[in-house]
Amino acid sequence: MSERDVELLRDGFAQLADEGYESLIPLVHPEFEMTTLPGIAAEPQTYRGTEGMRRWWESFYEVMDDVQVVPTEFHDAGAGRVVIAATLRATGKSSGLEVEQPTFLLVHLHDGQMHRIEFFVTLDEALASGS
């Protein structure tokens, strides 16, 4: 089951790159929850459901252009959990500055959908939390 979870997310992130964030909506569980961290987000908060996922993406597009989440590693964390190491890339709308930030996600899946996403500052922290 967990290798299938990894493939599901690998495919989902490939669609994200090709089609944009709306392509992720079918992968969002109705009870989805994601909380951004103070060290990672300018305005940490909790996002719930498909509307929360949309709001999270739209908050980027308010100030950034060309927002990309580029996964570099997928780790099977067992029992419906996958750790993803990724790079967040974007260009400031008004400044034109290109920014890059590593990010590490622990994705909890339920019924083939993302149920919860936790963010971590390091891969080791994400892997430790996932096991």
CATH number reported for the structural domain that contains residue 11 in this entry: 3.10.450.50
Helix (H, G, I), strand (E, B) or coil at 24: helix
Q: CB of 5 within 8 A of CB of 78?
A: no
User: d(Cα 114, Cα 53) in Å, to the nearest integer?
Assistant: 11
* Tally of domains in the chain: 1
For 18-38, what is each residue's pLDDT tens digit? 999 999 999 999 999 998 877
Question: 123 lies in which domain range?
Answer: 2-130
User: d(Cα 98, Cα 82) in Å, to the nearest integer?
Assistant: 28
79: left (phi over 0), alpha (psi -120 to 50) or beta: left
Report residue 96 as tokens.
């034109």
User: d(Cα 76, Cα 86) in Å, to the nearest integer?
Assistant: 15
Assign 105 a pLDDT band (cuts: 50, 70, 90): very high
Helices (H), the chain: 2-19, 49-63, 123-130
Count how many residues are written for the chain. Answer: 131
Assign 41 a pLDDT band (cuts: 50, 70, 90): low
Task: Read off the pLDDT of each residue in 43-59 and give the average, rounded to a whole number.
Answer: 89
pTM attached to this predicted model: 0.90
pLDDT of residue 18: 94
pLDDT of residue 25: 95
pLDDT of residue 39: 61
